[in-house]
A = this chain, B = another copy of it.
Amino acid sequence: AQPAKLLVLPGDGIGPEVMREVGRVISWLEKNRGIAFEITEDLVGGASLAEYGEPIRNEVIEKARAADAVLFGSVGDPRRGHVGFDKRPEVAILKLRQELELFANLRPAKVFDALVDASTLKPDVVRGLDIMIVRETVGGIYFGDPRGIETLPDGTRRGINTEVYTTPEIERVARVAFEMARKRSGHVCSVEKCNVMESGLLWKEVVTDLHAREFSDVKLTHMLADNCAMQLVRNPRQFDVIVTGNLFGDILSDLASMLTGSLGMLPSATLGAVRADGKCAALYEPIHGSAPDIAGQGIANPIAQILSFAMLLRYSLNLQDEAKMVEEAVSRVLESGLRTADIMSEGMARVGTSVMGEAIVREL
């Protein structure tokens, strides 16, 4: 078999140190499961800005295009201070999404039994929580034109952004959500603000039509974005799959993650369209940020990055067994009582990044 071609982009802050732990898992899989990887690593975000004067080079985009999957760390480095809007580290991830047409961001919010007390919500409210948010990531107000800041003749300045969604953009991401729901509890909740935004009205119509045409076996409900934020706090377990646009998805998926109380545990995948070679472009990243405040101290939790790699095994390489092995190793390590600082609680054993990584490999 051809080796699996991965592009690894550790990025800024804790990115490189949590990515190192994925390296251990990769070595283990090579040695013990006979899986061949061909790995290229490169710079993105603040790290790339420092070296090349831009948050991501076209060359890196091309490497991403050529890879079977991209494993991304995190970007953002406040120590670099004010850089122009075009040079900010976030451009790296935004460009990768857009250039590779990575349109469906899958963000699970799952409460691990061993960590139910880490949540600020009462255990009875979040125990067993398992939500999948499917967020559209190449459209909406993030990329619509016109955009910018203009100065009017009288000196007043105007900031403008445009939310645009077309029928096919909505359909393709809704399709991912419906298919996902079929493998889960069979319920999709579509979220917009159709009571004030026409783009939300179109969103709702397109999702409703697609449902009637192809997915009537799945239960479909609709919810306004403000109500969804409330319901996620009031009774989050009412949700199975949530599908929504770029901006609402950004906010609601972060909110849902925080319900678990353990951001350092949560992976994500962003999938693109099927390419000419029959594969689809995909990028995997932890949902936590670059956490510059704790970078370099060896205390960051590597689990979200490792679980992102498990998602990569499952979705991009179709290695279901290996994905499961990694996920179960993580669960067992947690049950054994090891904790990084972010998920530490009384009576557990506090460990650093590399001890956690080693423990997971040992469980494999």
Contact = CB atoms under 8 A, between A and B. Distances in A.
Interface of A: 85, 88, 90, 94, 120-122, 125, 141-142, 144, 147-149, 152, 156-168, 193, 195-203, 206, 225-227, 229-230, 232-235, 247-248, 250-252, 254-255, 257-259, 263
Contact of A121 (B120, B147, B156, B162): B120
B198 A149 contact: yes
A159 B254 contact: no
Contacts of A152: 166
Given A193-B250, A226-B254, 8 more contacts: A94-B196, A120-B125, A142-B196, A156-B168, A225-B250, A230-B254, A230-B257, A248-B251
B251 A226 contact: yes
A199 B120 contact: no
Contacts of A255: 229-230, 232-233, 255
Contacts of A167: 156-158
Given A157-B166, A166-B156, A196-B142, A225 B202 contact: no
Interface of A is mostly: helix
A141 B149 CA distance: 15
A306 to B, nearest CB: 22
Copies of this chain, whole number: 2
A235 B251 CA distance: 16
A238 B187 CA distance: 35
The 6 A-B residue pairs with the shortest CB-CB distance in the complex, in nearest-first order: A159-B202, A159-B199, A229-B255, A226-B254, A233-B258, A230-B258
26 contacts: A85-B201, A90-B195, A94-B196, A120-B233, A120-B234, A120-B235, A141-B141, A142-B196, A149-B198, A149-B199, A149-B201, A157-B202, A158-B166, A159-B202, A160-B164, A162-B162, A162-B163, A193-B247, A193-B250, A226-B250, A226-B251, A229-B229, A230-B254, A230-B258, A230-B263, A247-B247
